[in-house]
Structure 1
Amino acid sequence: MTMPRKESHTTTKGHERAGAILCVARELLGTEGYGALSMRSVAQRVGVSLSTVQHYYPSREVLLEALLNQAFDGYQAGIDQRLAQRTGSDSDSGKAVFQSIIDYFLDDLRDQISSGLFFEIAALANRHPYASKMFDTMLTRARRTLRNLMRDIAPELAPGQCEIRGALIVSQMIGLMIFLSDTRPKHGELAALQQEATAAIMRTAFS
């Protein structure tokens, strides 16, 4: 299912309203969970009618897809910004950029709303066919992004290696949310976890 395009989205007011709906929906999903994400509750918080929300996002599934697309568009913009900072074509420069991208992902996954969104989609994927499909799409897009970066930085790696390593790294980052998320209890003995995790991910990618 793809998010429908409405003509009103091309207007400034349409873009602003669609964006406000997504902002509220993201906060609801990330902080209160999928059960709180109803079209009516979103409409009430935005201050518009239910029919207005449905004009932009006809169903909760379409709204959920739009939220994930928004998240990935944001990640892609962050990746592109860091790739533009690469100062040369040598491997060391590429690895430095790759590490900055991993740090960017992990920093974002600490955020309450970002981590909450991922936790909710992962939980839904176990019992909701549409969420399962969306979760797989999310994981596939993430691992392929990392795969392509590794192939560009280290062309000596076999394609199959990059595929598997991309999947391993995505698994590591999702698992790290259990300890890194700002909503989780903090443990002093794990203060260096993110730094060590980044080093471990770099070894997974290029060793």
Structure 2
Amino acid sequence: MKPFRIAVFASGEGTNFQAMVDAWQKGYFGATEATTIELLVSDKPQAPVVQRAIQAGVDTYVFRPKEYSSREQYEIEIVAELERRGIDLIVLAGYMRLLTPTIVNPYMGRMINVHPSLLPAFPGKDALGQALAYGVKLTGITVHFVDNGMDTGPIVAQQAIEVQPHDTAETLAERIHEIERKLYPQVVAQIAQGKVTLEGRQVIVET
């Protein structure tokens, strides 16, 4: 059997990427030869996540968006690299570029993202700030498949946390990131092990 190959897209510090690598190396996704983190894709050559990938022995595909005339142009090259490597799943982990149908369409149902709210509440930018401004008592994270809308894809998993009376965006973000680093690898493991089925907007997860 060919390995289940994962590509992680990230632009920044790479804490979610590191959580994926740690889970993979510990066999959390199944046998390491059966599931591999094949590639890190980053639009920031100097981002700490690139060094994390190098240290973990994960290949990198790094590009500079300003060198291209459009998003579609560099996405065509990325898709070619993903296809060459036989990537089965794209994991967006703090990738700060908007995606176009050029890459979304061929990987529809095979690309996931984590968002810091209980979607469909507070999509888009500054979800934590939106939640605090609205005065919600609960927020959380959502792992969802990516479609061509803004955080509108089918939901795979959610986890809620309480908003404390004196929370700031910073204190809330710290707790959000803590549960992200646990739930996101869990979802990747379920997908890699064939436990997640997408039927329209319904996502069925085997227990």
Higher strand share: 2
TM-score scaled to structure 2, two decimals? Answer: 0.31
Q: Which has the larger radius of gyration?
A: 1
* Greater share of helix: 1
TM (norm. structure 1) is 0.31
